Chains A and B, each alone.
Chain A
């Protein structure tokens, strides 16, 4: 084994020994760090699951254009041509009033009531699917179509999808903020734990430096300690989040069996799990680096 590898193996062994020397304290600190990391992970799982559920719904923006009751087939053709001439329109579907009535009768409990009517109260209509989600352009199109001859009403069904998208964006921002805050908290806790270790081992550090240890030699075991703590905390967070996901999946299946196909908990993908643990490991490493460097500067200044 080369000297380089021996030094790193020795530093890793030292870090493991330090963690193992106080098993209860180490376990609790790792669990606390893991819980802090798990919180944004759980929030991300909830958000991801909500997004996945929403993806199953028709969220594409579309507009319903209702014609006047006295509109003729020629009027409908003219309106259809006008609609198809718009660049933002992806598809136009004509829904004749007879078909609309049949669908209404089939999908509601109003069949008898509707049958008792002497004439069809529903108008011909177009369902227009749009390419854009830009609110201003959609509003402009709606206003323009309202002015077409024999158009009675234009109803835009995109506001709710826009609202949903806005809520999703807000959720992502809140999640990012919480993640950043808790990440900073984790880094602070790791840095504090490492700082305590450095202070406790001050005598050893000073003697080591006197007999030839460089700053890198001194730093190395602490960096491994920080990285190990981060790694174990990341793994603990993953386990906690997986536990939450399993529990939520079970509760959803019990509470809403009829929606089991639509409502499902989406857990992190394998790559995301690896990134979580690696990120926590790097966070611990960075926190340890800052803490040790700071303390070493203080030791040197105090000499």
Chain B
């Protein structure tokens, strides 16, 4: 489970991205974070993934207080979380296959097992025929799907996605929403941010709205 307790995040320079946010996400639950740009959605997701640390308050993931974990322990935790970055964070000097294989390489997976998993992940996002393509040769939507493939390749316990359908056309957005739903159905906790109303409707999950860094509204999508 993910538990935010009175969490605030203040960046150097004084900008307060989150203010007193308390939120529980149960194991196997799917939650959509909504809100306008600058509402604090990305910050909330990064705190849940241990990419950033809360200024005050506590963030618990699987019972672990992320604020109390050292850098190495946080890094190991991140291996069990698939994160879909809004700006993709792809390596442009590696092809699609190598980008998706990166988490498995870090995890020390055997080569054959790694290749099998990478191809399965690429197949899930419809990029199996582009495994040799360099990211620069992929469209924005394909890069987004490649990032999703990298997030799911290590079969994470938790999937966190920052605007995963933001760069996708309607068909692929539907396919990706269905992919997240399928992960949710097999017990993976899914936390994602979106302001795509069509996707929200299709997800059919709990919806948490943020406004100016604070919880504004909670309810079913």
Interface string of A206-223 (1 = CB under 8 A from B): 111111111111000000
* Bound Cα distance A211, B77 (Å): 9
Partner of A10, one of B75, B92, B105: B105
On whether the beta carbons of A215 and B110 are closer than 8 Å, the reply is no
On whether the beta carbons of B72 and A210 are closer than 8 Å, the reply is no
Please report whether the interface of chain A is mostly helix, strand, loop or mixed according to DSSP. helix
Do A212 and B108 form a contact, CB below 8 Å, given A207-B89, A207-B91, A207-B102?
no
Which residues of the partner chain A approach B186 to less than 8 Å between Cβ atoms?
none
Which residues of the partner chain A approach B76 to less than 8 Å between Cβ atoms?
212, 214
On whether the beta carbons of B106 and A208 are closer than 8 Å, the reply is yes
* Bound Cα distance A20, B93 (Å): 17
In the complex, residue of chain A having the shortest beta-carbon distance to the beta carbon of B71: A215
Interface string of A50-88 (1 = CB under 8 A from B): 000000000000000000000000000000000000000
Partner of B78, one of A212, A215, A216: A212
Task: Find residues 51-79 in chain B having any chain A CB closer than 8 Å to their own CB.
Answer: 51, 71-72, 75-79
Task: Find residues 90-124 in chain B having any chain A CB closer than 8 Å to their own CB.
Answer: 90-93, 102-103, 105-110
User: Does chain B have a CB within 8 A of A203?
Assistant: yes
Q: Nearest-CB distance from B81 to chain A (Å)? A: 8
Which residues of the partner chain A approach B71 to less than 8 Å between Cβ atoms?
214-215
User: Does chain A have a CB within 8 A of B83?
Assistant: yes
On whether the beta carbons of B78 and A211 are closer than 8 Å, the reply is yes
User: Does chain A have a CB within 8 A of B207?
Assistant: no
* Bound Cα distance A216, B71 (Å): 11
User: Does chain B have a CB within 8 A of A251?
Assistant: no
* Bound Cα distance A207, B78 (Å): 12
On whether the beta carbons of A6 and B110 are closer than 8 Å, the reply is yes
Which residues of the partner chain A approach B105 to less than 8 Å between Cβ atoms?
10
User: Does chain B have a CB within 8 A of A111?
Assistant: no
Number of A interface residues in the complex (CB < 8 A) = 20
On whether the beta carbons of A4 and B83 are closer than 8 Å, the reply is no
Q: Nearest-CB distance from B17 to chain A (Å)? A: 15
* Bound Cα distance A214, B71 (Å): 7
Instruction: Report the number of A-B residue pairs with Cβ-Cβ less than 8 Å.
Output: 55
* Bound Cα distance A4, B109 (Å): 10
Which size bracket describes the interface of B in this complex?
20 to 34
Do A211 and B72 form a contact, CB below 8 Å, given A203-B91, A204-B91?
no
Q: Nearest-CB distance from A300 to chain B (Å)? A: 8
On whether the beta carbons of B103 and A212 are closer than 8 Å, the reply is yes
* Bound Cα distance A235, B109 (Å): 34
* Bound Cα distance A45, B106 (Å): 46
* Bound Cα distance A45, B80 (Å): 57
Partner of A211, one of B108, B110, B150: B150
Which residues of the partner chain B approach A217 to less than 8 Å between Cβ atoms?
75, 106
Partner of A4, one of B72, B107, B108: B108
* Bound Cα distance A212, B98 (Å): 16
Do A214 and B75 form a contact, CB below 8 Å, given A1-B110, A207-B102?
yes
On whether the beta carbons of B91 and A211 are closer than 8 Å, the reply is no
Which residues of the partner chain A approach B85 to less than 8 Å between Cβ atoms?
210
Which residues of the partner chain B approach A207 to less than 8 Å between Cβ atoms?
89-91, 102
On whether the beta carbons of B108 and A10 are closer than 8 Å, the reply is yes
Which residues of the partner chain B approach A10 to less than 8 Å between Cβ atoms?
105, 108
* Bound Cα distance A6, B103 (Å): 14
On whether the beta carbons of B103 and A7 are closer than 8 Å, the reply is no
Task: Find residues 159-187 in chain B having any chain A CB closer than 8 Å to their own CB.
Answer: none
On whether the beta carbons of B91 and A213 are closer than 8 Å, the reply is no
* Bound Cα distance A10, B114 (Å): 13
User: Does chain B have a CB within 8 A of A3?
Assistant: yes
* Bound Cα distance A214, B107 (Å): 10
Q: Nearest-CB distance from A20 to chain B (Å)? A: 16
In the complex, residue of chain A having the shortest beta-carbon distance to the beta carbon of B106: A213
Q: Nearest-CB distance from A176 to chain B (Å)? A: 39
Partner of A216, one of B51, B72, B77: B72
Which residues of the partner chain B approach A216 to less than 8 Å between Cβ atoms?
72
* Bound Cα distance A10, B108 (Å): 8
Which residues of the partner chain A approach B83 to less than 8 Å between Cβ atoms?
210-211
Which residues of the partner chain A approach B93 to less than 8 Å between Cβ atoms?
204
Q: Could you show 19 A-B contacts with beta carbons less than 8 Å apart? A: A3-B107, A6-B110, A7-B108, A203-B91, A203-B92, A206-B89, A207-B89, A207-B91, A207-B102, A210-B78, A210-B83, A210-B89, A211-B78, A211-B79, A212-B75, A212-B76, A212-B103, A214-B72, A215-B72
Interface residues of A (CB under 8 A from B): 1, 3-4, 6-7, 10, 203-204, 206-217
Interface residues of B (CB under 8 A from A): 51, 71-72, 75-80, 83, 85, 89-93, 102-103, 105-110, 150
A-B interface, 9 closest residue pairs, ranked by CB to CB distance from nearest:
A212-B79, A3-B108, A212-B78, A214-B75, A7-B108, A214-B72, A6-B108, A213-B106, A207-B89
